[in-house]
Amino acid sequence: MRVEVLQTAGRAAASAARLVARALEREPSLVLGLPTGRTAIPFYEALVALYRRGVVDFRRATTFNLDELAGVKDDDPRSYHAYMRRHLFDHVNLNPRRTHLPDGAAGDWTREVARYERHLSEAGGLGLAVIGIGRNGHIGFNEPSARLEARTHYVKLQPASRRANAYLARGDWREVPTHAVSMGIGTILQARTVVLLATGASKASIVARALEGPITTRVPASLIQAHPAAIAILDREAAGRLSAARRRGAT
């Protein structure tokens, strides 16, 4: 796995945005897997800045978000639909017919997860997935567990994940839904390229476990060690507990 360590969170976000821009230049109809979360906000700011400078064109791209909270409508400010409009969709030339998120108000989850997985496979699967990592090691909402789901599924959130999303509900984690729809670990890892973006000291310990610890379903992000084309883009703080060679960006 390639590990890039940048001085600051802003530089890490900008590096991930440039990587996406280069991939879209090579392949304008790329299918992107996209994250939400606080880490991704500067990444989207950097992407929007590149778009405004004419460096990136989304016209032919397709996007699939990794997940959505369950029990919220698209226009609910807590929804990932709202997050994506706020941080990306309202600012770039993505075709709204080619931006996809699970429907958080679906109700019939069996049908919804099948629909999402079908749309993904009709689009040819993910070309490039940009993912974050939860402090509990989740990717998407594949929460630490004795077993993981391969495909898109309905999932109960761990308290840590609800707390991490409190920023969407004016700081009140009890207002964060208890369940979500998430791509499965297999769906994410089938992306041709996986880019993990992590910043800040609060991620240092889980980043070290994910990138250098044993591959285990208890740290779902550790499975990216087995991906043939995974890149981790970190700031110095998030890389703080990696082995010295990795911290220097030597691998």
Would you call 67 a catalytic residue per the annotation?
A: yes
Q: How far is CA 241 from the centre of its chain?
A: 22
Considering 138, 227, 235, 237, which one is annotated as catalytic?
138
Choices 86-94, 101-109, 128-136, 184-192 (CB under 6 A): range interacting with ligand PGA = 128-136
Considering 4, 67, 112, 237, which one is annotated as catalytic?
67
Would you call 65 a catalytic residue per the annotation?
A: no
Binding mask of the shown chain, residues 26 to 45, with x at each position contacting ligand PGA by CB under 6 A: ---------x-xxx------
Nearer to ligand PGA, 19 or 196 (CB): 196
Beta pairing partners, 231? 2, 195
Contacts for 31 with CB less than 8 Å, ≥ 6 apart: 61, 62, 63, 64, 123, 124, 125, 126, 127, 128
Nearer to ligand PGA, 133 or 207 (CB): 133
Least separation in angstroms between residue 206's CB and ligand PGA is 10
19/6 Cα distance (integer angstroms): 14
Least separation in angstroms between residue 33's CB and ligand PGA is 12
User: Is residue 220 part of the contact set for ligand PGA (CB under 6 A)?
Assistant: no
Least separation in angstroms between residue 93's CB and ligand PGA is 26
In three-state secondary structure terms, 77 is: coil
Would you call 95 a catalytic residue per the annotation?
A: no
70/240 Cα distance (integer angstroms): 34
Least separation in angstroms between residue 146's CB and ligand PGA is 20
Number of residues that bind ligand PGA (CB under 6 A): 8
**Token pair of 48, please?**
């929007």
246/241 Cα distance (integer angstroms): 10
Binding mask of the shown chain, residues 167 to 206, with x at each position contacting ligand PGA by CB under 6 A: ----------------------------------------
Return the residues of window 1-30 that contact ligand PGA according to CB under 6 A. none
CA 142 → CA 79, 85, 101, 224, distances in Å?
Answer: 18, 24, 16, 13
Contacts for 139 with CB less than 8 Å, ≥ 6 apart: 66, 131, 132, 133, 185, 188, 196, 220, 221, 223, 224
Least separation in angstroms between residue 132's CB and ligand PGA is 3
Q: What is the total residue count of the chain?
A: 251
Would you call 138 a catalytic residue per the annotation?
A: yes
The catalytic site residues sit at 67, 136, 138, 143
Binding site for ligand PGA (CB under 6 A): 35, 37-39, 132-134, 164
